[in-house]
């Protein structure tokens, strides 16, 4: 089994602030891997470093066997796509869904655009009726479906998910999570998913890494976490917190 993403000693520095302090991980092909942590843990920075949106100070990132340099070429973006956290901010306010989905196809010079757009919309459960709407005519969940369609339209093998449901209502979250599982199964995708919510990560991922202050705390399988077989106190704290408020009186 080869690694889809292999990261070794990754450091990210923003203006002297070390957002990631030497993190290593390996995501197998076809696996769903979770990154859990609180704000400032560096979990989103790690995704951004892979895509080239965050400056890598040192360390190596290998994606599908290719070591990434300073810049990413077009081929990279056909392999790796990302879904952002805020569905209200990730769609261009002046473009219709049609335009949004056409853009990646135009950039990569893909010919059968019409068919792909219709297929992508069907796949995320939106259908043709949504094709010519603007972002402001869509609900949060529908926007996130469009964002997923946009990520899938280039047929990538790796999908990076940055808190894809944290801005959504619980019932909509369930729908989007189900959709993500479904497209993963259908396209045999590799997921690297970031969330602050342990329950979502154990639901979606086979393995996960707990992060704090830019460092890895521990790496677990979902079943270890479910069975509370964790070795670090921080993880235990997170587990306890995820069970809701407990009155101690």
Indicate the residue among 24 and 110 with the shorter CB distance to other proteins. 110
* Number of CB atoms found within 10 A of residue 186's CB: 10
- Smaller CB separation from other proteins, 66 or 108: 108
Instruction: Please give the Cα distance from 114 to 101 (Å, whole number).
Output: 10
Q: How far is the CB of 207 from other proteins (least distance, A)?
A: 15
Provide, rounded to whole angstroms, the least separation between the CB of residue 47 and other proteins: 11
* C-alpha 215, offset from chain centre: 19
From the CB of 154, what's the least distance to other proteins, in Å? 7
For residues 103 and 118, which CB has a smaller minimum distance to other proteins in the complex? 103
Strand partners, 13: 18
As separate numbers, helices (DSSP H) first and strands (DSSP E) second, the chain gives: 9, 10
Helix axes 140-152, 170-187, angle to 10 degrees: 10
Encoded tokens for 133: 């709407």
Cβ proximity to other proteins, 27 vs 50, nearer residue: 50
Provide, rounded to whole angstroms, the least separation between the CB of residue 43 and other proteins: 12
């Amino acid at each position: 089994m080869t690694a889809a993403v292999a990261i070794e000693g990754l450091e990210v520095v923003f203006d002297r602030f070390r957002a990631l302090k030497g993190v290593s991980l390996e995501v197998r092909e076809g696996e769903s891997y979770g990154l859990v942590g609180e704000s400032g843990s560096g979990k989103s920075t790690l995704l951004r470093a892979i895509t080239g949106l965050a400056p890598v100070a040192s360390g190596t990132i290998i994606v599908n066997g290719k070591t990434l340099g300073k810049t990413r070429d077009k081929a990279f973006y056909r392999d790796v796509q990302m879904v952002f956290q805020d569905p209200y901010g990730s769609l261009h306010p002046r473009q219709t869904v049609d335009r949004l989905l056409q853009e990646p196809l135009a950039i990569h010079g893909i010919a059968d655009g019409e068919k792909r757009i219709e297929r992508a919309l069907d796949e995320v459960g939106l259908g043709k009726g949504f094709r010519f709407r603007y972002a402001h005519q869509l609900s949060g969940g529908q926007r996130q479906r469009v964002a997923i369609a946009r990520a899938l339209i280039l047929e990538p093998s790796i999908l990076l998910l940055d808190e894809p449901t944290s801005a959504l209502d619980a019932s909509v979250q369930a729908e989007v999570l189900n959709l993500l599982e479904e497209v993963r199964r259908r396209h045999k995708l590799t997921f690297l998913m970031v969330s602050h919510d342990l329950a979502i990560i154990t639901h979606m991922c086979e393995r996960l890494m707990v992060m704090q202050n830019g460092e890895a705390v521990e790496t677990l399988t979902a079943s270890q976490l479910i069975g509370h077989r964790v070795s670090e106190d921080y993880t235990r704290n997170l587990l306890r917190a995820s069970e809701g408020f407990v009155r101690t009186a």
